[in-house]
Structure 1
Amino acid sequence: MYKYLDVLNKIEYMIENEEFKQGEKILSIRKFADLFNCNKWTVIRALEELEKKHIIYSVPQSGHYVVPKKDILNQNEALITDFSSSSPDSNVFPYIDFQHCINQAINTYKNELFIYGTPKGLPSLVSVIRKELAHYQVFANNRNIFITSGVQQALSILTLLPFPNNKHTILIEQPGYHLFIEQLETQRISTVGIKRDYSGIDLEELERIFKEMDIKFFYIMPRYHNPLGYSLSQKDKQEILKLADKYDVYIVEDDFLADYETDSKADPIYSYDYQSRVIYLKSFSKIIFPGLRVGVAIVPDSLTGLFSKYKIYSDVDTSMLSQAALELYIKSGMFEKHRKKMRHSYSQRAEKLHDSLQKYCTINNGTKMYHNYGNCCIHTCLELSTKINIKNILKESEKNSILISDTSSNYLQDFDDKKNYIKLNTSNVPYEYIENGIKNIVDIIGK
């Protein structure tokens, strides 16, 4: 890694940990050079990049100062507090580090990046990801790992792919991933739903569906469910897998927030699979940035040949430049550094969300608050009384510069047991605005 990037990251870390507070002057170039044992030109380059990221600003004849966050956020007439977006916070995207990896990838691989690759992905990246996934108790052979253009592409392929069990209906949690639901309904794929709430999944109902219906695979988000934010217990994960083995149903496990796990004992369903029953999916969109479009699918031997063919039909191969840059980003240690930074940031927001809901939500105004106490997550839902018109809540919140959304798109159109949920996601809400935002939402509901 270039020396200026190391200096940049150290100064940014000092600012994040409030060694220099908002609006406060930071050290001089000379003092930074002495502190980090480097020349002043290295420090100047690092400071220039921090200015581009709007983390500091310079005052002629005075020095550099930390940009006050509140001033930036209030440049508009009204601060927009966005609880509706689930995208990663663009303010923490690793632009500089990843730009370095892109440049390095071009220098390393040259013309290999600009010709067609393989449907499985860049072989060197496959090996790097295999080692990376082992941290989550996901152990796989290279032959079973496919690099995809995000999880969405993997789901599209699996939906169309004929499975060895010769079944045709897809089972999906309700509420569930809205884009997959839209895809299934648009393509008129035979689909049924099963209720998922904060107590988990009714295993008796799951067994009935597995036994009586033609279930090809069960698409499930065991960890930090979207939109509920709740994780299944290890016992439930094991029981679901037992039922899948018993009734010849495949499990498609979407572990999209694996990088934010804080419980070292929270293993995925895949880790218990000894019958090649689970297809494991993971994305890098929620930890780096969505535009990267690199996901991972671990496919059992019985499906690798067909999956490879269908992927060629889909896009020939995933962007080789993105793959090569990601490989270098992981191998350099930059990814682990960024993951720790993001995990810390999101953990703080999750705790603030949890505390704010505890403080302001009561049963008295028709609001039920559910949250996974044992494992904080940055998103959750409020269940409202069926007497409350959620559309009115959304409109009134928008008038007060607060963006929230309901879960109407997270349900199949013909699913009967739909809850009156409001989704809350703090990935794009600054830490210092979470509590006030929750208070205002609850006040609006109370009226």
Structure 2
Amino acid sequence: MHKYLQLLSELESKIESRQWTDGNKLPSIRVLADRYGCSHSTVIRALNELERRHVIYSVPKSGYYVVKGALASPKEGTGVIDFATSAPDRSVFPYLDFQHCINKAIDTYSGDLFVYGTPQGLDTLIQVVQKQFADYQVFASPKQIFITSGVQQALAVLAGMPFPNRKSKVVLEQPGYHLLIEYLETHNIPVTGVGRTAKGLDLEELERIFRGGDVKFFYAMPRFHSPLGTSYTKREKLAIIELAEKYDVLVVEDDHMADFEQDSKADPLFAYDRSARVIYLKSYSKILLPGLRVGVAVVPDQLVDVFQRYKRLLDIDTSMLSQAALEIYIKSGMFERHRHKIRASYARRSNVLAASIKHHFGPLSDISAICNSSQPMIHTHVALDRSISVPRVISLLKKDGVVIEPIDKHYLTAYPKENLLKINVSNTKDEDIDQGICRLAETIKKLANTKRRSAARDQ
């Protein structure tokens, strides 16, 4: 990340956290340069950018001051604690940065943005993505990279196109991605599920399904699974690759949460693939703007031609304006700056969530089991005892101002459903997380005690 962007983030953070409040004078250019170990020109560039955004203003021969209300926290909401919404937090959307990139894209690519593009995507964006993906340990040639209208479009193409193994069945983790489940069942595409829990993937069941034949591909979320919140171990990743090779199955890896990884040694499935069996999918929606609708698919050479043909028939191309703006956003260093900012924001909430779960669910170990990844994440799940009704828990919590979604839609219609509650804090204020988890634990405890009293009376 460029030095001035790093400094820009530091200054913004101080204003957002009210360390510098309305009308406060900022330290001088010399002091800022000494404090952050950078040149005067770097400080001036960062200050000019803040002034352009109307966050600070300058007074000749005096210095820079914070604009009243600049970067103010959002107004108080409805009082509802939201554990259901999984979209990125609006308060960290990079509106101004991306607006600048859109304007720059129109100036730079004015002759190309408003005509049809190519099914593969904007050449210059593909080159930028190829370089960026190398940081994720995903090494691919430009011809293997396709820009798609979100991961959902890539999945629709893969589900509908023929594969070299001439098989037809899709295998999904259960629970799994609800929109893919809905797509497959709506289009009557053969699909079966394989169990995944807090303890990991049922590899014996997966091999049994692969051995049965006719498996086109296995779709998985190895990292920060939604809705479970867990990640595969290296042993599980290697086992999946081995089974895919043994039974001639391709693997579709959805790595939409890759940018939130803190462990530099945690590589994607793609990095362990030596026989071109992994199709790698990445979305920019979870870390940038959901409405951006730009995803990336990295496909093996054997699938390139047919993937391109089916994608072209689906929508000709992905929005050229979005592609050009994203290219500029990544190349300028703004993406890296935003990634650091949102990772810090989510890491803080994740740690609060993990601490709250440990504190409030410790005494309830005989009633429910709580799952959390070895690395705290913004979403996780609670496994309830079968005697406790999930709809009843959700209903009582709603009356108490806590919103939680049922997990049923994350299962295939005919697949046996676990008694789970999913929790997501991407849109929950830090100070509300502990209060919400406390209410959840109390509600479960009350229902469990009621069940015990009822059972005692029956005896």
TM-score, length of structure 1 as denominator length:
0.89
How many residues end up aligned between the 2 structures? Answer: 428
Name the structure 2 match of 1:64: 68
Name the structure 2 match of 1:187: 187
Matches of residues 31-430 of structure 1 in structure 2 within 5 Å?
38=44, 42=48, 45-46=51-52, 48=54, 64=68, 69=73, 72-74=74-76, 78-361=78-361, 362-363=363-364, 366-373=367-374, 375-416=375-416, 418-430=417-429
RMSD of aligned alpha carbons: 2.7
Moved more, 321-330 or 387-396: 387-396
Q: Distance in 1 between matches of 2:394 and 2:176?
A: 20
Moved more, 135-144 or 397-406: 397-406
Q: Distance in 1 between matches of 2:327 and 2:364?
A: 49
Instruction: Give the letter aligned to residue 54 of structure 2.
Output: E
* Identity %, equivalent residues: 46
Instruction: Give the letter aligned to residue 373 of structure 2.
Output: N
Q: Distance in 1 between matches of 2:379 and 2:257?
A: 11
Instruction: Give the letter aligned to residue 221 of structure 1.
Output: M
Q: Distance in 2 between matches of 1:6 and 1:64?
A: 24
SS at match of 2:165: coil
- Residues 9-34 of structure 1: CA distance to partner in whole angstroms, max 9, x if unpaired? 554222345533xxx44523896899
SS at match of 1:111: coil
Instruction: Give the letter aligned to residue 28 of structure 1.
Output: K
SS at match of 1:157: helix
Name the structure 1 match of 2:63: none
Matched, 1:28 2:25: yes
TM-score, length of structure 2 as denominator length:
0.87
In structure 2, do the counterparts of structure 1 residues 50 and 406 end up closer, same or farther at CA, with 3 Å as the change threshold? Answer: farther
Q: Distance in 2 between matches of 1:443 and 1:85?
A: 22
Q: Distance in 1 between matches of 2:49 and 2:206?
A: 59
Whether the 8 Å contact between 1:173 and 1:196 is mirrored in structure 2 is yes
Structure 2's unaligned 5+ residue stretches are: 33-39, 58-65, 447-459
SS at match of 1:205: helix
Instruction: Give the letter aligned to residue 370 of structure 2.
Output: M
Structure 1's unaligned 5+ residue stretches are: 52-61
Cα distance, 1:390 vs. partner? 1.2
- Residues 267-286 of structure 1: CA distance to partner in whole angstroms, max 9, x if unpaired? 01101111110100000000
Q: Distance in 2 between matches of 1:136 and 1:422?
A: 31
Q: Distance in 2 between matches of 1:211 and 1:30?
A: 67
Cα distance, 1:383 vs. partner? 0.7
- Residues 126-185 of structure 1: CA distance to partner in whole angstroms, max 9, x if unpaired? 000000000111000001000000000000000001000000000000000001001111
Name the structure 1 match of 2:430: 431
SS at match of 2:110: helix
In structure 2, do the counterparts of structure 1 residues 263 and 67 end up closer, same or farther at CA, with 3 Å as the change threshold? Answer: closer
Whether the 8 Å contact between 2:384 and 2:420 is mirrored in structure 1 is yes
Whether the 8 Å contact between 1:7 and 1:46 is mirrored in structure 2 is no
SS at match of 2:162: coil
In structure 2, do the counterparts of structure 1 residues 49 and 312 end up closer, same or farther at CA, with 3 Å as the change threshold? Answer: farther
Cα distance, 1:366 vs. partner? 2.1
SS at match of 2:85: coil
In structure 2, do the counterparts of structure 1 residues 439 and 46 end up closer, same or farther at CA, with 3 Å as the change threshold? Answer: farther
